[in-house]
Structure 1
């Protein structure tokens, strides 16, 4: 019995040591993450200077530093992005930040989907649904809406009210399921827009999730200090726009002059605009100004928004970044070291008196599809009748040219126009993965969503709580 007891103690001790080693292993990733985040803070502080840690320059410099090392191997063969994921995450209780619950207006979503002009029942059903939801605290707005609409108009056909979402002849049950799915998709679209905005703001490891109640989204934002600014960022509506594009060779001289001016500036570092790019002038992408690593984006943005740029660049040119970087091999000219980096592309958009060719609220529906014949993913998009006529004129004027889809100032896609598109139905191709096609469809749908976003609760948490 004594030997069994000793064996049990030995096994328990080995297990305890094993668990301690596992804990230390994962804690080491946290320490490495903290080390590099401290370096990012020091870099951002030096870049921001007197502007301080709450400035745009600090935020962009911090994000640029983190982005620049995200694919570098920094510990035991792991990249920094992998190290961040493997470490013990510091939540709100340890790092401080914000906990925010948002409510996307489901009534506004239904209104944006509906063809209810002259329909006496639609708004009445919305009003009755609001009353029932408030009284019962129900999580299922769409089901209650369908019930209330059916009470008001028992013989009504929801496919007439929601012609882009409900098939003609569908039962009330099928119509309700279709509306629920569409509302869910549009809330997911809002979630994706918020995720991208938060990422651009520089929040590290945010937690974003859709809650059970229709239209509610929970956000946990560790480390956030600019609370009022974040709240305004979250409440602002998505801004979807369609732009014509312009080949860079049409204003290459202006870019060269702007670059020369920067090199000659005695107060600068001897670098002009084009010096910050890794690649420039791509004949296969004529609207590409250049590609740059994340760390150089702040400097480029500062140049292209300067008075000199406004004076030298054509008034109908607007420069914007593509939202997703392309990962490729790049060689540092100073060290000769080649490594994989994320390169962001700056493209040239064409404006009409500073405005886009078409605003995004004209999109009635969008979905990701798969072409069985071609074996690829594409995005199908429908527009309102008036917009369809404008779209036909725009596409007719841009055959073999690109038209850019821009959300919140960032280019999500710039497909080439192959022929005149009439009737408002377009197919957008581009060697999409399934997820990329879904994301683009969500972008298009988020642009038409007229739903407001309300902050129903927000809590600022200090790190001292942990």
Structure 2
């Protein structure tokens, strides 16, 4: 077994299995970027990283924390730097939000557009440019199913280039919107052949009604159904209760499922869900679904981390 001598400060060492003398070992150093971090949060990061490495089939791994210097070290086979950034260090925070509809916000958006225009013009009355409303590519349009007329759960669509603009004018007029209103986007929505790639714009309720699903996931697995891929989740006892309550109060309303600030899907609740299960479907490629399931099963990172360096570990004499 290869011995690796660590300073006394490097504690919370978690060993998956003993190191193989036949495989080169590397030390990957990560930096905890958050300035305010507790030892409990760091311990959680160690556990989450360990789980993610195990799920990715890495063996002979040691994950270690240096509390004082806010550093983490991973002793393992070589890790791909792109994989570290896109998989290992993803926060993996899955949150379910209640949404505001276009019918609730239409009048507010018109007034907010006027306020943004006045602020841009130096408090002079000038609404000709319509800064907020013109940032949209299109607005949510009413449609009919059977004898029922409905609006989509999003309020409009926007090009990627106009997202910063929309956010800017939303902030200029934020005082007119509900205090808990927050913008989120579902990227790359395909519309007509001649339209550019569009993102759907949702206004979610950033308040105590949100359900932090990542905290209560007991199991997650990827499923394939023809050309569609999905991720099935089951919650623990409290998560089952919280999910039931959320669906119960949102019958015929939309719930936005958001991962790390990006909308994955926005299903409409048909019935109360009592079994503690949920599905995210139709938005992932096959490998993405497996990676996403692993991400949910491993838990979320409570702090932001980044790659500092990686070097080969010299074998002990």
The interval holding the TM-score normalised by the smaller chain is: 0.5 to 0.7
Which residue does 1:342 correspond to in 2? 197
SS in 2 for 1:349: strand
1:283 matches 2:142: yes
Once the 2 structures are TM-superposed, how far is the Cα of residue 346 of structure 1 from its aligned partner? 1.0
1:393 equivalent among 241, 245, 267: 245
More strand, by proportion? 2
CA contact under 8 A between 1:291 and 1:346: conserved in structure 2? yes
Distance 1:444 1:180 in 2: 10
Deviation for aligned residue 1:327: 3.2
Residue in structure 1 matched with residue 15 of structure 2 by the alignment: 129
Shift of 1:444: 3.8
Instruction: For residue 261 of structure 1, give the secondary structure of its aligned residue in structure 2.
Output: helix
Local SS of the residue matching 1:286: coil
Show the counterpart of 1:157: none
The answer on 1:419 being equivalent to 2:271 is yes
Please list the CA deviations of residues 228-249 of structure 1 after superposition, one character each: whole Å capped at 9, or x if unmatched.
Answer: xx9xxx9673432121222121
- Structure 2 equivalent of residue 204 of structure 1: none
Aligned to 1:326: 189
Cα deviation, residue 282, structure 1: 3.1
Give, in whole Å, the separation in 2 of the partners of 1:139 and 1:451.
27
Structure 1 or 2: larger helix share?
Answer: 1
**CA positional deviation for 1:449:** 6.0
Distance change in 2, residues 1:266/1:346 (3 Å): same
| Structure 2 residues not aligned, in runs of 5+ | 1-11, 27-50, 59-74, 144-150, 312-317
- d(CA) in 1 for partners of 2:93, 2:78: 19
Distance, in Å, in 1 between the alignment partners of 2:229 and 2:16 is 39
Specify the SS of the correspondent of 1:418.
coil
Q: Please say if 1:406 is aligned against 2:255.
A: no
Residue 55 of structure 2: which of 179, 183, 190 is its match?
183
2:216 corresponds to which residue? 362
Give, in angstroms, the shift of residue 181 of structure 1. Answer: 9.2
Against the structure 1 CA distance between its residues 298 and 410, is the aligned structure 2 distance closer, same or farther, given a 3 Å change threshold? same
Q: CA deviation at 1:340?
A: 4.1
Aligned to 1:262: 116
The residue aligned with 2:102 is 248
What TM-score comes out, normalization by structure 2 length? 0.62
SS in 2 for 1:245: strand
RMSD: 4.2
Paired with 2:132 and 2:267, the residues of 1 have a C-alpha distance of: 26
- 8 Å CA contact retained: 1:385, 1:423: no
Which structure is larger by alpha-carbon Rg, 1 or 2? Answer: 1
After TM superposition, the score normalised by the length of structure 1 is: 0.44
Paired position in structure 2 for 1:303: 169
Preserved CA contact (<8 Å) 2:93 2:301:
no
Compute the displacement of 1:250 (Å).
0.9
Q: Secondary structure at the match of 2:169?
A: helix
Quick check: 2:153–2:266 contact (8 Å CA) kept in 1? no
**Structure 1 unaligned blocks of 5 or more:** 1-125, 141-178, 187-211, 221-229, 331-338, 460-466
Residue pair 1:240, 1:360 contacting (<8 A) in 2 also: yes
Deviation at 1:278, TM superposition (A): 1.1
Residue among 307, 316, 331 paired with 2:180:
316
Deviation at 1:390, TM superposition (A): 0.9
